[in-house]
Chains A and B, each alone.
Chain A
Amino acid sequence: MKLIVNGEPHAPAPDLATLVEQLGLAGTAVATALNGRFVPVAARAATPLAEGDRVEVLAPMQGG
């Protein structure tokens, strides 16, 4: 089961909170979306991941 995380293939994870932890980003300022839908921090643990899911993990960035 492969995930697509920020456009790159990624090893499976049972849920979004675990994935963020695997990425070393637990507790950091990141926001997540699953298949184009926003998933709040509080809902990550209850958001299971399935094969082919597209996850976006976004961080603060400079902007105009």
Chain B
Amino acid sequence: MNPLELYGRRFHSRLLLGTANFPSPERMTAAVHAAQAQILTVSLRRTAVGGEAFWDQVRGLGTQVLPNTAGCHGVREAVTTAQMARELFGTRWIKLEVIADDDTLCPDVVGLVEAARVLVAEGFEVFPYTTDDLGVAARLLDAGCRVLMPLAAPIGSARGLSHPCGLRALRAHFPDVPLIVDAGLGLPSHAAAVMELGYDAVLLNTAVAQAGDPEAMARAFAQAVSAGRTAYLADPIAPRDMAAPSTPVLGMAVLA
């Protein structure tokens, strides 16, 4: 299967995993292995006990890290956080979040585009957490983003694809841009559905970390991502409204 390529780096895994809210560091490590994740999202917060230990743990996993600007509400705040993350984690990658509202955690797309422009100019490789809006996507690409990360549903909501038509339109409109669904997935079937739409990857956190058995759920998601990707490449048939007999009608006996 062809690899996932993000900013010139290639990955065989199409499941990106967040590192927050696991019951323990050991169970996070187990889930990362079960997911076969090669990219982990991380964050930075005011110094607290455990920061250094966590970073040692993540480094020990040998994965690419994708720092985020989670919780930032303004352009300057997000830009400063990204600059701090670049030094701390030693990567130009940044998952750019500029949050508009605390209840929905929906992106402030105006601030997002502005922050993306600033960060690209500073040499960052930006992964913008965005909506499925085509106009915003075009502006993010114009700002220099080479990957887009639309949400499926509000962060942590586990609702799955709230607007599949929008995700489908985004895929059709930008066939050559790596698209990663970030946020809102709860079940492996959601991840499979995303991949069946032709998305390049999915990013998960809560659905795995807060599951009763994070390791098993990580494995289930990895299988779903793989199944969805294979199905997309296998060129699914189009749905139709009326029945179409699968058994040949020709040669049917007259017995009535």
Q: Which chain A residues have a beta carbon within 8 Å of chain B's beta carbons?
A: 6-7, 23, 25, 28-33, 36-38, 40-41, 56-64
Interchain CB contact under 8 A, A38 and B80: yes
User: How many interface residues does B have (CB within 8 Å)?
Assistant: 35
> Assuming A60-B54, A63-B41, what are 20 further A-B pairs, CB within 8 angstroms?
A28-B52, A31-B84, A38-B80, A38-B87, A41-B87, A58-B46, A58-B47, A58-B84, A58-B88, A59-B47, A59-B88, A61-B44, A62-B19, A63-B18, A63-B19, A63-B44, A64-B43, A64-B68, A64-B70, A64-B155
**Contact A61 B80, beta carbon cutoff 8 Å:** no
Taking a contact as CB atoms closer than 8 A, the residue among A36, A62, A64 that contacts B77 in the complex is A36
B45–A61 CB distance below 8 A: yes
Give Cα A40–Cα B21 distance, bound, in whole angstroms. 29
Closest Cβ–Cβ distance, residue A50 to chain B (whole Å): 19
Determine the distance from Cα of A59 to Cα of B58 in the docked complex, in whole angstroms.
13
List the A residue with the shortest CB-CB distance to B84: A31
Least Cβ distance of A16 to chain B in Å? 13
Q: How far is the CB of A23 from chain B (nearest CB, A)?
A: 7
Chain A: minimal CB distance from B235 (Å): 33
A61 to B87, Cβ gap below 8 A?
Answer: no
How many whole Å from A46's CB to the nearest CB in chain B?
Answer: 16
Give B residues with C-beta under 8 Å from A.
18-22, 28, 41-48, 51-52, 54-55, 58, 67-68, 70, 76-77, 80, 83-85, 87-89, 155-156, 205-206
Nearest CB of chain B from residue A64's CB, rounded to whole Å: 3
Whether A61 touches B84, Cβ cut-off 8 Å, given contacts A29-B52, A30-B47, is: no
- Chain A positions within 8 Å of B58 at CB level: 60
Tell whether, in the assembled complex, residue A62 and residue B20 are in contact, meaning their CB atoms are under 8 Å apart.
yes
Query: Would you give 18 A-B contacts (Cβ < 8 Å), ordered by A?
Result: A29-B52, A30-B88, A38-B84, A40-B87, A58-B47, A59-B51, A60-B42, A60-B51, A60-B52, A60-B55, A60-B58, A62-B20, A63-B41, A63-B43, A64-B18, A64-B20, A64-B21, A64-B205
Would B70 and A58 count as touching, CB distance under 8 A? no
Give the CA-CA distance A61 to B18 in the complex, in Å. 11
For residue B48, which residues in chain A have a CB less than 8 angstroms away from its CB? Answer: 59, 61
A29 and B88 within 8 A (CB) = yes
Contact assessment for B46 and A62 in the assembled complex, using a CB-CB cutoff below 8 Å: no
Complex: A57 Cα to B139 Cα, angstroms: 33
A31 to B51, CA, bound (A): 12
Nearest CB of chain A from residue B139's CB, rounded to whole Å: 25
Contacts of A56 in B (CB 8 A): 46
Q: Most chain-B CB neighbours within 10 Å: which of A7, A41, A58?
A: A58
Assembly CA distance A32 to B81 (angstroms): 10
A31 vs B68: C-alpha distance in the bound complex, in angstroms? 14
- Residue B76 contacts which of A28, A36, A61 (CB distance < 8 angstroms)? A36
- In the complex, which residues of chain A have a beta carbon less than 8 angstroms from the beta carbon of B76? 36
- Given known contacts A61-B51, A63-B19, A31 and B88 CB-to-CB distance under 8 angstroms: yes
